[in-house]
Amino acid sequence: MTQTKSSDSSESSSPPLFVNAENVTLSNCDLEQVHLVNAIQPHGVLLILEEPHLRIVQASANCKDFLGIGTEFLIGKTLDILLSHEDILVLCDHLAKANLLNTHSHLISIKHSLHNKQPLHLFGNRINDLLLLEFEQVDPLPPIEILSVFSDIRESLKSLQCAESFQFFLDKLASEMRKLTGFDRVMIYRFAEDKSGEVVAEAKATDLEPYLGLHFPASDIPEPARRLFALSALRHLPNVDYVPVPLVSDPNILHPTRVDLSYSFLRSVSVMYSEYLRNMGVKASMVMPLFKQGKLWGLISCLHSSVRYLPYEQRIPAEFLAQLSSTLLTDRENIDQLGYHTKLHYSTQKLTSQLQNCVSITEALAFRDEALLSTLNADGAAIIVDGQLTLLGKTPTGKQIEKLAKWIAQRETSVFSSHQLATEFPDAQEYQQTASGLLAIRLGFTSKDQILWFRSEVSKTVNWAGDPHKPVEINLENCEVRLRPRTSFAIWKETVLGQSLPWLSTEIDYAHRLRQIIADILIEHARLLSKVNAELQRSNSELDSFAYAASHDLKEPLRGIHNFLELLELEEKEHLSELGEKRIKTVLSLSEHMSFLLDSLLQYSRIGKNELLLQAYSTRNMATQAIELIKQSHPDPNIEFILSPNLPIVLCDQMLVSSILQNLLINAIKYNEQTIKRVEIGCDTSLIPPVFYVRDNGIGIAPDNYAYIFQLFRRLHLRNQYGGGTGAGLTIAKRAIERLNGTIWVESELGKGSTFYFTLTPESSKNVEHCA
């Protein structure tokens, strides 16, 4: 039973062959044109008239039963053959005032026709320039006091309004409706997204088997039937075993039109429907649609195991209650979520203040009082901020989330939700147990910075009323394939995998709001950050100035101390004991070391203090100069310098780069015990930015120490080993490299040597002077 054809297509392009009870087949079930059946149920009479003369063009074959005159006498006549002049005047007055298009309305009640004593109700509907006039008997029971009807409905309404939850509301609706109509069973039937139905509330006679919680496949109420249910406020089938009453038209007309009976109350029902009810053991039914915000939400379905006809007088209160319920539906469902909604709203307020008081978004969302996971009803969450992933609760692995985040980043909308993720993102099948449900917000437009909530799989058991995959049975009758609704409504259990509890609209709203809050706070953070940055820069430069001044000012008295001690040593030599002389030497050596330390500190602070002077320089020339300087300060014939030819010209500050190269070269030869010390300066220009390196065959560095070697005054060896030194050389090199926006790293093997790599990528700002 396919759902591909909609009623629209059947309406707009009428197929040449009408599908009806005789030839309904597997593929055209949805097309069965129930509204063009050309027959009615026997609990009333239908006349089809032409206006304005009210000439009867068609009539149901049962006129005699209600009107006391045979149908054949009516065709082609005007209405005055049937009704008194006074009645016709009143009717015409109503017809002139009533619209009657797309609706079926009560017009008048008459004491009797011209041919019998039967009081009748008259109903009307206009369609295709024709007037459909229906007659039903007036309830023979004494009329109910109108006030008592109102008070009954008011009581029902009151109890509906007092229902403490949406479920109670539906339960109440079912029981009130049963009280009002006296049917055996009243079900509230809700349509799902896929148009399958579920019995969400039920009131029934105790001896009946419950249908509550049962699911019905979409094909049980096919599209044309859903359309017809939506069109009229109430459908009634008093007896499924009724004999349809055909419409009779003028025998002189060869091809009488089949009139559209969509709005007719008496219209004959689909053969599939009556058979379906029969298979269920139902003899009579009454169906009222429930709308939520103008859309068909579900049905109130009243079923009775014996024939049951509800006259117009008794149908009105039921119809009225159903319509009122529709208006209450939206509110009731919303009120149900209100508590949760308030909780989420409160949570966003708390999160906002946490976000405002926390430097890190992750920290604010994950580890404070009000945490992401506890608020939203989720099993796990992931926060990705600046590429850093933080996992909370039950989640897929980091790698899986990374792939998922990439997919989310490419989506058009910044908020995504699904309770069956694997159907949209097949990779998610791997982890559907932990994350069948996903609610994700993207913090930037296309960024991978996201917040994701996961819901684990709920292996849901759906109880179907019969096998949903076989909604119909195929019968062979007279060598022809015939379709009939299934005969078994025994519970057929289906386990649904790969689904979580669905995300509520209030939860999705919450995610939207949270996203907006984070966006606002990110902007605020960025503003603060740039302020703090400026402050930091200023304080850094102040610190550099301070260090510079301090070390500079310390150097002078230190030199004085050293000088006067030397004078003492030189000029008072004869008065000094051997020990005294030794002690003077110790103080001299200590002050020399202190002087070195101060020099290093000066050099270090100078890197941050001085303005960058960026120019295009040949690194080859600078390397050559650095090597020359080293050769002068460390004359040693056993040092071999290798200069690779491809050293490029780069934008840099000459003084800084010289300092980098000198410090790296000194480091390379200092920590080297080889007879031939080899130092190579080179560059891999195939990389962007080019990576420079200084390679030696020295003692190497243990990996554990990689982190320490760049720390100021940190030495890995004793002061008297490897020619002393202050332990600042690599720190100075690193700082100079960082000043030029570069990075430095080391690869080394103990006993084999070390290679220091670095890049230089100064921002070409306005103070760039281009070399001629």
Partner 1 sequence: MLNTVHNKHPLLIIEDSDEDFEITCWALAKANLHCPIERSSKAEEVLLSLSARASQVDCEPPLPKLILLDLNLPSMGGRQFLEKLKLIEHIPIIPVVVLSTSNNPRDIEKAYRLGAQGYICKPLSLEVYVKKMQALVNYWFDAVEVPNNHQMFSPNTQSR
Task: Tell me the closest approach of the beta carbon of residue 566 to partner 1, in angstroms.
Answer: 4
Q: Minimum CB separation from partner 1 for residue 569, in Å?
A: 9
Q: Cα(760)–Cα(264) distance, rounded to whole angstroms? A: 85
755 binds partner 1 (CB under 8 A): no
User: Rule CB under 8 A: is residue 744 a binding residue for partner 1?
Assistant: no
Q: Distance (Å, rounded) from C-alpha 615 to C-alpha 41?
A: 98
Q: Does 566 bind partner 1 (CB under 8 A)?
A: yes
CB under 8 A: which stretch of 502-510, 537-545, 551-559, 670-678 binds partner 1? 551-559
Q: Minimal distance in Å, beta carbon 720 to partner 1?
A: 19
Nearest residue to 451 (alpha-carbon basis) of 375, 372, 521, 343:
372
Question: Do 135 and 66 form a contact (C-beta atoms < 8 A)?
Answer: yes
Nearer to partner 1, 138 or 594 (CB): 594
Shortest distance, position 736 Cβ to partner 1, whole Å = 13
| Closest to 137 in 3D by CA, of 109, 171, 96, 104 | 109
Task: Give yes or no for residue 593 binding partner 1 (CB under 8 A).
Answer: no
| Least distance between partner 1 and beta carbon 654 (Å) | 10
Q: Select from 32-40, 109-117, 332-340, 555-563 the region that touches partner 1 (CB under 8 A).
A: 555-563
Two structure tokens written together for 285: 């039914």
Minimum CB separation from partner 1 for residue 719, in Å?
Answer: 17
In the window 600-639, what residues touch partner 1 (CB under 8 A)?
602, 606, 610
Tokens of 685: 């220009």
Asked whether position 567 contacts partner 1 by CB under 8 A, the answer is: yes
Separation between Cα atoms, residue 621 and residue 467, nearest integer Å: 86
Structure tokens at 652: 């840099």
Distance CA 148, CA 137 (A): 22
As given in the structure block, the two tokens for residue 3 are 């759902």
| Binding status of residue 411 toward partner 1 by CB under 8 A | no
Query: By CB under 8 A, is residue 555 in contact with partner 1?
Result: yes
Paired with 190 in beta bridges are 198, 298
Interface residue with partner 1 among 7, 591, 697, 748 (CB under 8 A) is 591
Judged by CB, which is closer to partner 1: 459, or 563?
Answer: 563
Residue 258 burial (10 A CB sphere; 0-12, 13-18, 19+): middle
Other residues' Cβ atoms within 10 Å of the Cβ of residue 530: 10
**What mask of x and - would describe binding to partner 1 in positions 447 to 466, judged by CB under 8 A?**
--------------------
Nearer to partner 1, 505 or 621 (CB): 621
**718 part of the interface to partner 1, by CB under 8 A:** no
CB of 653 to partner 1, least distance (A): 12
Please select the residue that binds partner 1; options are 72, 331, 592, 673, rule is CB under 8 A: 592
Query: Per rule CB under 8 A, is residue 556 in the interface with partner 1?
Result: yes
Neighbours of 352 (CB within 10 A): 18
Beta bridge partners of 746: 756
Question: Is residue 560 a contact residue for partner 1 (CB under 8 A)?
Answer: yes
649 - beta bridge partners? 618
N residues, the chain: 772
Residue type, 256: P
CA angle, 173 as apex, 168 and 177 as ends, to 5°? Answer: 150
* CA-to-CA dists, residue 665 to 405, 598, 696, 753, 759, angstroms: 46, 21, 9, 13, 16
Q: Does 581 bind partner 1 (CB under 8 A)?
A: no
Cβ-based burial of 760 (10 A; exposed 0-12, middle 13-18, buried ≥19): buried
Of 552, 573, 585, 752, which lies in the binding site for partner 1, with binding defined by CB under 8 A? 552
> Residue holding tokens 């437009």?
445
Per rule CB under 8 A, count of chain residues that contact partner 1: 20
Q: Which of residues 260 and 569 has its CB atom nearest to partner 1 in the complex?
A: 569
Taking CB under 8 A as the criterion, the residue among 109, 595, 705, 743 binding partner 1 is 595
Gap between the Cα atoms of 579 and 742, Å rounded: 52
Amino acid at position 52, single letter: P
Q: 480-483 long-range CB contacts below 8 Å, 24 or more apart?
A: 481/25, 481/26, 482/24, 482/25, 483/24, 483/25, 483/26, 483/29, 483/272
Q: Which residues pair with 641 in a beta bridge?
A: 679
Cβ 541 to partner 1 shortest distance, Å: 15
Q: Does 26 bind partner 1 (CB under 8 A)?
A: no
- If one asks whether residue 570 binds partner 1 (CB under 8 A), the answer comes out as yes
Decide: is 155 part of the binding site for partner 1 (CB under 8 A).
no
Query: Is residue 573 a contact point for partner 1 (CB under 8 A)?
Result: no
| Footprint on residues 645-664 left by partner 1 (CB under 8 A) | 655
Which residue from 12, 10, 34, 32 is spatially nearest to 23, judged by alpha carbons? 32
Contact window for partner 1 (CB under 8 A) among 330-338, 352-360, 433-441, 599-607:
599-607
| Stretch near partner 1 under the rule CB under 8 A, chosen from 167-175, 290-298, 412-420, 562-570 | 562-570
Residue in 43, 515, 562, 734 binding partner 1, rule: CB under 8 A: 562
Which is closer to partner 1, CB of 234 or CB of 665? 665
DSSP strand E in 173-283: where?
Answer: 185-191, 197-204, 215-216, 235-237, 245-249
Q: Which stretch binds partner 1 (CB under 8 A): 220-228, 385-393, 556-564, 708-716?
A: 556-564
Closest to partner 1 by CB, 146 vs 570, is 570
Tell me the pairing of strands 185-191 and 130-137. Answer: unpaired
**Minimum distance from residue 556 beta carbon to partner 1 (Å):** 5
Peptide bond into 645 cis (omega under 30): no
Site residues, partner 1 (CB under 8 A): 552, 555-556, 558-560, 562-564, 566-567, 570, 591-592, 595, 599, 602, 606, 610, 655
